[in-house]
Amino acid sequence: MASISQMKDPLYVGKAIRAQLEHEIPKDLPLEKDFREGSDYTITDHVHDLHKSLCTDTRTLELVTALIDALHTFARKTKPTHAEWIKAVSLLTRAGQQSTPEVNQFVLLSDCLGLSVLLDELEHPKPPGCTEGCEPGPFFIDDVPEIPSGGSLATSETVGEKLFFEGSVKNVEGEVIPGAVVNVWQADGDGFYDVNSEVPSATNDRGKIKTLEDGSFSYRGILPTAYPIPSQGPVGEMLRALGRHSHRSAHLHFHITAPGYDDLTTALYPSHSPFLGTDPVFATKKSLICDLEQDRNADNWKRMGFSDDEVQEIGKTSGRVWLWRYNFVLPSVEAVKEFKERANLA
C-alpha cells in the first residue's frame, strides 16, 4: 500500500491527479484479496468493501449496496454480451439526450417498468379497505379553481359525450369526511388534457371540489378516452421490442386531501375501456375499474344540472349521459404509519 507522500510524488502520480490533490488527499486501502469469478471473494464483495470503508452516509451506503447487488445479480443471471451492453449504453444515453422538461425519458422508463407504481405503493401503502392509489402522471396541477359540488368541469365546446360523476369520501370505519378537497383532472373525448390539447387551455376538464356535509360530491364532465404516452424516443423503442403498445386506458385522475388523512392519489377506469390489461404504466388496478351506466332520460339530465341547451344537444347527438359512481376510502395518517411499521417488521 502506498504512503500519503507517494500519492503526491510525480514519479507515481501524473500531472492531472497532482493538480486535483492540492485540494484532496484520498484514502488508500490495501488490496488484500483476490477477486475472481467463482472464488469466494468476488468483485461484488470488493465493491461492497470499498463503499463500506469510504462512504460515511448510511442511507447512501444502503442504496448503493442494494443497487450493486441487484445489478451484479442481474449480470450473473443473464450474462449480457459486450454487444448487448453497448445497446443498453446507447439506449440510456439517448434517453438522457432526448429528455425534455415536458417528457423525461427516465420517468417514462420508470413508469413502463412498473417501478413508479411500485414506489408509490411502498411510500403510500393502503391498509385493507382503503382505495388503492396510483401515479399522478405528468398532468397534475395543484393550483386550480374550486367549483361547487354538482358544477361543471367542462366547457360547452369540450369534445366528447357527457358524464355525470357521483362520489363520496369516507374513512375505513365508514364515517363520512365532509370538506375533503377532491382535485379531478382528465382527458377529453379526443384523448387530450387541457394542457396538451390542440387548443391548450389551463383549466378545462379539471377543478377542485369540496365534499358536502354527507361526504358526497358530484360534477358534470366528459367521458374520457384512451391516449398514448410519448413513444417516439428510446422508451417507445423498448416498448416495441417487448411487443407492447403505448396506449393508456381511459381514466379520471383524483387527488384527495383531508386533515388527519393520508393524501390519496389515484385514477378510475371505465370497464369498457380498451388496453386495461396492457396499460403501459401498469396503473390499471382491478379495484379501480368501474362499470358505468347510461342514462337516456332527459328529465334526469336536467336534474344533473345540464342546461336546456345542453339537454337539447345531448338529445340530438348521443342521446345519453354516462353515470359514474365511486366511493373513496381514505386511511388516517396514523393508520398508514402503523401499517408501514408493521410491514417493515414483517
Q: What's the chain's length in residues?
A: 346
CB nearer to a second copy: give 214 or 346: 346
Helix (H, G, I), strand (E, B) or coil at 295: strand
In the complex, least distance from residue 298 CB atom to a second copy, rounded to whole angstroms: 20
H or E segment to which residue 221 belongs = strand 216-222
Using the contact rule CB under 8 A, the part of the chain among 5-13, 142-150, 201-209, 292-300 near a second copy is: 5-13
Report the alpha-carbon distance of residue 274 to residue 272 in Å, rounded: 7
In the complex, least distance from residue 211 CB atom to a second copy, rounded to whole angstroms: 26
CB nearer to a second copy: give 123 or 146: 123
Sign for the pseudo-dihedral over CA of 262, 281, 251, 204: positive
Residues numbered 207-266 forming contacts with a second copy, rule: CB under 8 A: 223, 225-228, 241-247, 250
Report the alpha-carbon distance of residue 262 to residue 125 in Å, rounded: 10
Using the contact rule CB under 8 A, the part of the chain among 49-57, 139-147, 164-172, 325-333 near a second copy is: 49-57
In the complex, least distance from residue 139 CB atom to a second copy, rounded to whole angstroms: 14
DSSP state of 191: S
CB nearer to a second copy: give 113 or 212: 113
CB nearer to a second copy: give 22 or 24: 24
CB nearer to a second copy: give 180 or 250: 250
What is the edge-to-edge ordering of all strands in the sheet holding 321-330? 216-222, 162-171, 321-330, 293-295
Paired with 17 in beta bridges are none
CB nearer to a second copy: give 68 or 176: 68
Phi, psi torsion values for 195, nearest 5 degrees: -75, -20
187 lies in the binding site for a second copy (CB under 8 A)? yes
In the complex, least distance from residue 244 CB atom to a second copy, rounded to whole angstroms: 6
Residue choice 129, 178, 179, 274 for contact with a second copy (CB under 8 A): 274
Residues numbered 70-129 forming contacts with a second copy, rule: CB under 8 A: 70-82, 84-85, 88-89, 92-99, 104-107, 110, 113-119, 121-123, 125-126
Residues 6+ away with beta carbon under 8 Å from 217: 149, 166, 167, 168, 169, 182, 209, 210, 211
In the complex, least distance from residue 258 CB atom to a second copy, rounded to whole angstroms: 20
Residues numbered 132-171 forming contacts with a second copy, rule: CB under 8 A: 132, 161
Closest among 162, 188, 185, 159 to 294, alpha carbons compared? 162
Contact pattern for a second copy over residues 327 through 346, marking x by CB under 8 A: ----------------x---
Torsion from C-alpha of 315, 320, 321, 324, nearest 10 degrees: 180
Neighbours of 280 (CB within 10 A): 22
Residues numbered 303-332 forming contacts with a second copy, rule: CB under 8 A: none
DSSP state of 194: G
Report the alpha-carbon distance of residue 69 to residue 176 in Å, rounded: 47
In the complex, least distance from residue 346 CB atom to a second copy, rounded to whole angstroms: 9
Using the contact rule CB under 8 A, the part of the chain among 65-73, 137-145, 169-177, 206-214 near a second copy is: 65-73
CB nearer to a second copy: give 63 or 333: 63
Torsion from C-alpha of 111, 113, 119, 122, nearest 10 degrees: 140
